[in-house]
Amino acid sequence: MQATPDLTALSTAIVAARERLRGHVRETPLERSLPLSERLGADIFLKLENLQHTGSFKVRGALHKLLCLTPEQRSRGVVAASSGNHGAGLAWSCRELDGRAIIYVPVHASPTKVAMIRRYGAEVRVFGRDGLDTEQHARAAADAEGQTYVSPYNDLDVVRGQGTIGVEMAEQAGTLDAVYVAVGGGGLIGGIAAYLKRAMPSARIVGALPANSPVMAESVKAGRIVVRESFPTLSDGTAGGIEADAVTFPICRDLVDEWALVSEQEIARSMRRFVDEHHMLIEGAAAVAIAALERNAARHRGQRVGVVVCGANVSMETLEQVLRDGRAADSVATGHHR
């Protein structure tokens, strides 16, 4: 069994990461959501990482990893596997630091996200159907070429970079009763939990996952990383398998207080509501955290709750489908269908 992480050391390292990233990444707003607060009877605060460079929190971990490498390592090139956001974050970071990146994407990767990776100057290669297949292939390719592999989650430098969100939330919010975070490989929630469990120990950390790909939640329940098929989900950023030695597993096992699984219908509804009520785009992974909060709303009445809105990178095709399905459902519900 993987050892319990040293929380003091990890928290301290996250603070150091915050200093390295200062001036490179945006300190994103933590804003009270009036629509969610009124509907749920609580004070709901949104950490708007959808406003981060590249439209996703992923740039924090990717850039922090690059800042921990030597200039020679960066010049030799870095390799990553990504469904889109991590690859875009790494490509953007390499452009900022004069590095070069090769990004492997699975065949089902969002064309919008792949185009963004290319726009930031990285080379894109396609391999694999499940995120884990792509990760394993990319890691082997990096080793063969003497380049540095940058995992989207299985790297403590990346986890520390993502954890800087927790530092900002603690400074901006003061105290929170609960924090909802979408979970794929666990880098985002792992970093945030590692910091907040020291900064605000009473806050419950809730991991939110699509029911179509709940790998980390099932792994924690089983006491080991499990292998299971993931089904299509609007939350493409959290979908897929997890490497067997993932450094995020013991962090999630020991620091995440509970897990919430949501359906595709709940994810789509939260995406539509967010666009309508907040006039900003979010992608499926961000909607997973909001949907999980809405499912658990009754327990949070009168509380202060934070939600990490992790990204905005949704394709026009997906957005149109979500909005179209919502209009069709509304039409049926009101009897205005043809």
C-alpha dist (Å) from residue 156 to 153, 185, 187:
8, 12, 8
Domain borders along the chain are 7-57+156-324, 58-149
Find the largest Cα–Cα distance for the chain.
65
State the Cα–Cα distance between residues 207 and 292, nearest whole angstrom: 9
Architecture of domain 7-57+156-324: 3-Layer(aba) Sandwich (3.40)
Confidence at residue 330, expressed as pLDDT on a 0 to 100 scale:
54
From edge to edge, which strands make up the β-sheet containing 123-126?
Answer: 123-126, 101-105, 78-81, 148-149
In the numeric block, which tokens belong to residue 103?
Answer: 């990004």
Confidence at residue 332, expressed as pLDDT on a 0 to 100 scale:
37
Question: Which residue numbers in the chain have pLDDT < 70?
Answer: 1, 328-338
Confidence at residue 132, expressed as pLDDT on a 0 to 100 scale:
82
Nearest alpha carbon to residue 191 among 199, 172, 111, 235: 199
Confidence at residue 328, expressed as pLDDT on a 0 to 100 scale:
59
Confidence at residue 113, expressed as pLDDT on a 0 to 100 scale:
85
Nearest 10 degrees: CA dihedral of 133, 139, 141, 144? Answer: -140
State the Cα–Cα distance between residues 219 and 41, nearest whole angstrom: 33
Among the residues of 31-155, which ranges form H helices?
34-40, 58-67, 71-76, 85-97, 111-119, 131-145
Task: List the CATH code of the domain at 58-149.
Answer: 3.40.50.1100
